[in-house]
Amino acid sequence: MTKQEKIDSYNPSGVGLDNGHLFGLPFGFEESDIIVLPVPWELTASYGGGTSKAPQQILKASTQLDLYHLNYPEAWKQGVFMLDVSDEIYKLNSKYVQKANELILLQEKGKSIEELNEQITEINQVCDTLRKWVFEQAMRLLNRGKKVILLGGDHSTPLGYMQALAQKYDSFGILQIDAHADLRQAYEGFEFSHASIMFNALKMTQLTSLVQVGVRDICKEEIDLIQADKRIRTYFDIKLHQERFRGVSVSEQWDRIIKDLPERVYVSFDIDGLDPKLCPNTGTPVPGGLQYAEVVELFRRLKDSGKEIIGCDLNEVGNQEWDANVGARILYELSCIL
Ligand SMILES: [Mn+2]
């Protein structure tokens, strides 16, 4: 069957097909414009675990979605296909996750990073192996003309993908939805920590702006960096609400945020940027956060702005049915604007 025949014979409003494909879509790899790259990884998860299983859970939950989207009724036709979860990466994560957890526990009991230097270095090397693997996978897909959504895992996972995009584009910006700024130089000694993803991304000179939305848990070191690096613009959750209490509309705020972004935009979506009722089992939930409809509207305005969306990631989704259900819907939203 050709792709057109598949489109013609498929009913997007029908019962979700249990065909093992993301969203129950009828398309394979070749016929899909968008490829989801799953990264089952949570070596540096510091609080709640389970996000390495999110890709499988989201795949399972995704067939329950209605593909008809009010804003983009034809979007499903572009085709979204998720690659198999890599056994090799899953095993590498399983092999080291306990070791990494023990190192965090030892630090909580008072051991210093210096005392644990040797073991921490080992974890950093394993994380660098993952970064290179992600870089190569993303490069391979981009070179085949695919658009890529990376699906974590924890928020450390997209660095290699961002670096692949930096080879392809000489400049771009990041829109980061997150409860945290992720600007720590290293966290718990881990250089490639989920809490350092944007610190590491800012090392790329191609990254011309970082716009953060929903941030509500931050440390002094991060505030200093926000003030020092002109590329960073942070919209704190509480400040957005203070403005709204004074009568500023969400509409005005979203337009301002989109204005801050350059012509090429990468979207990095940490699910904990949402209200925790939408992601109760994420690694580091924080009260407050964005509502679902606010995200959909922000995305719609971003799409309508005519800016080019060059890639996205979704990460930190918890390993439970409700978390995966919301995660699958955010993943669909991302695929619609990509
Ligand atoms: Mn994050």
Q: What angle do CA 306, 309, 314 make, to 5 degrees?
A: 140
Asked whether the beta carbons of 28 and 6 are under 8 A apart, the reply is no
Give distance in angstroms: CA of 315 to centre of ligand 1.
8
Model confidence at 200, pLDDT cuts 50, 70, 90, reads very high
Close Cβ partners of 7 (under 8 Å, ≥ 6 residues apart)? 77
Give distance in angstroms: CA of 40 to centre of ligand 1.
16
Give distance in angstroms: CA of 236 to centre of ligand 1.
14
> What does the alpha-carbon distance between residue 148 and residue 37 come to, in Å, rounded to a whole number?
7
Query: Nearest-CA neighbor of 294 among 242, 331, 249?
Result: 249
pLDDT digits (tens, 9 = 90+) for 260-280: 999 999 999 999 999 999 999
Give distance in angstroms: CA of 185 to centre of ligand 1.
14
Give distance in angstroms: CA of 255 to centre of ligand 1.
23
> What does the alpha-carbon distance between residue 252 and residue 265 come to, in Å, rounded to a whole number?
20
Give distance in angstroms: CA of 316 to centre of ligand 1.
8
Per DSSP, the three-state class of 231 is coil
Q: What angle do CA 200, 201, 207 make, to 5 degrees?
A: 145
Give distance in angstroms: CA of 153 to centre of ligand 1.
11
Which one has a higher pLDDT value, 13 or 228?
A: 228
Ion ligand 1: residues, CB within 5 A, are: 155, 178, 180, 182, 270
Structure tokens at 123: 């974890």
Give distance in angstroms: CA of 77 to centre of ligand 1.
31
pLDDT at 67 over 90: no
pLDDT of residue 46: 65
The three-state (H, E, C) secondary structure of 131-143, written as one string: HHHHHHHHHHHHH
| Phi, psi angle pair for 207, to nearest 5° | -80, 110
| Phi, psi angle pair for 54, to nearest 5° | -60, -45
Give distance in angstroms: CA of 314 to centre of ligand 1.
10
Query: Nearest-CA neighbor of 192 among 141, 111, 122?
Result: 122
pTM recorded for the entire structure: 0.96
What single letter denotes the amino acid at residue 265? V
> What does the alpha-carbon distance between residue 242 and residue 246 come to, in Å, rounded to a whole number?
7
pLDDT at 186 over 90: no
Mean pLDDT score, 138-164: 97
pLDDT at 48 over 80: no
Distances in whole angstroms, Cα of residue 331 to Cα of each of 136, 197, 248, 267, 288: 22, 20, 29, 11, 21
pLDDT of residue 252: 98
Dihedral (CA of 172, 46, 108, 115) sign: negative
Model confidence at 128, pLDDT cuts 50, 70, 90, reads very high
Give distance in angstroms: CA of 61 to centre of ligand 1.
23
Give distance in angstroms: CA of 139 to centre of ligand 1.
23
Can you list the positions of beta strands (E) in the chain?
Answer: 34-39, 80-82, 147-152, 172-177, 207-215, 232-236, 264-270, 308-315
Structure tokens at 73: 């009724």
Partners of residue 172 on adjacent β-strands: 207
pLDDT of residue 18: 74
pLDDT digits (tens, 9 = 90+) for 3-31: 999 999 888 887 766 788 999 999 999 99
Mean pLDDT score, 190-203: 96
> What does the alpha-carbon distance between residue 54 and residue 38 come to, in Å, rounded to a whole number?
9
Give distance in angstroms: CA of 193 to centre of ligand 1.
10
- Give the max Cα distance, the chain: 63
| Phi, psi angle pair for 248, to nearest 5° | -70, 135
Which one has a higher pLDDT value, 106 or 233?
A: 233
**Domain 3-337 top-level CATH class:** alpha beta
